[in-house]
Amino acid sequence: AAEARLRTEQCGEQPTCATCGAVEGCQWCGEGKCVSSGMSLTGLFDTCTAVSCPPGLPYAVPHKPVPEEWFLTEAEIVEARGGPEKAPRRNAAVFTRGNRATLLQAGGDVFREFAKDLYQTEAGDFALLSSFSLEMGLPLLPEQPGRTIRQDFSDAMERDVRVRVLFRRSAGTPGKNSLQKQYDAQDSFTSMVPAPGAKANGARSRYILDTRMDFPMGAIHQKFSIIRHHGSLHAMVGGIDLDWDRWDTAAH
């Protein structure tokens, strides 16, 4: 029923015959409206006196996504990194092809995927996290309540894994999001970073407070992680922070 409702609403939003014909499951009626060719909200099949566009109005062909239109160019990336003086050249491609994508439906899925990748890191690997909020005392897996993110990061660095966190510094609110709490979290992380020597890669770990948005009500909602293990990169993008109120399941 929910799927039928969504399809009916989606078709109803198409204002022209061309856009209607470009959406799978929609048909253009001679009455000048776009309706679903499946079940309607009333539970009955939609009927049309005519289901084709008038002459001269061909169906629109959906525009195929082009990577070059979505990703930053080489010049834009260099400029964002401070210009050619700070980032004179990059050895990585702007984007890659042939990647496998998986939909993670709920917060619990994200937590488990992050834990699975982090736990597989070895010496020389890295874990990068950009976060809007982060609770270091939170367990990634509910069945392991004594194993917190703080401990997971510490263990990774001891395995000579480079862990870097870019945390959005906010103006601060009373409680755990106060400015002092943010600085305390940074200090706590820094205290776990091993000294240079046997753990040369782990010693490069950093917890950086992102101060690019100082406006009190401003926010940088970039939430992603990139973890390398066994020679492969595993990235997650979306809107889930590793925080207490983000762990959820699809059944909720």
Q: What residue segments make up the domains of the chain, in order of their start?
A: 1-63, 65-98, 102-246
Does position 17 have pLDDT exceeding 90, yes or no? no
Q: 40 versus 133: which is more confidently predicted?
A: 133
Whether the pLDDT of residue 57 is over 70: the answer is no
Using CB atoms within 10 A of its CB, is residue 242 exposed (0-12), middle (13-18) or buried (19+)? buried
Residue 42: pLDDT over 70: no
What angle in degrees, to the nearest 10, is found between the helix axes of 149-158 and 107-119? Answer: 20
Q: What is the H or E stretch that residue 130 is in? A: strand 126-131
Would the pTM count as exceeding 0.95? no
For residues 149 and 140, the answer to whether their CB atoms sit within 8 Å is yes
- pLDDT tens column, 121-173: 999 999 999 998 899 999 999 999 999 999 999 999 999 999 999 998 876 66
How is residue 126 annotated by DSSP?
A: E
Give me the percent of the chain exceeding a pLDDT of 70. Answer: 81
Residue 68 pLDDT > 90: no
Torsion, Cα 88 92 93 98, to 10 degrees, reads -170
Calculate the average pLDDT of the chain.
83
- Highest mean pLDDT of the ranges 69-73, 103-107, 209-213: 103-107
Amino acid at 13: E
DSSP structural state of residue 177: T
3-state secondary structure of 8: helix
Between residues 198 and 126, which one has the greater pLDDT? Answer: 126
Within 8 A by CB and 6+ apart from 89, the residues are none
User: CA-CA distance, 7 to 60, in Å (whole number)?
Assistant: 18
The CATH number of domain 102-246, selected from 2.60.120, 3.40.50, 1.10.20, 3.30.870: 3.30.870
Q: What is the mean predicted confidence (pLDDT) over 106-124?
A: 96
pLDDT of residue 43: 45
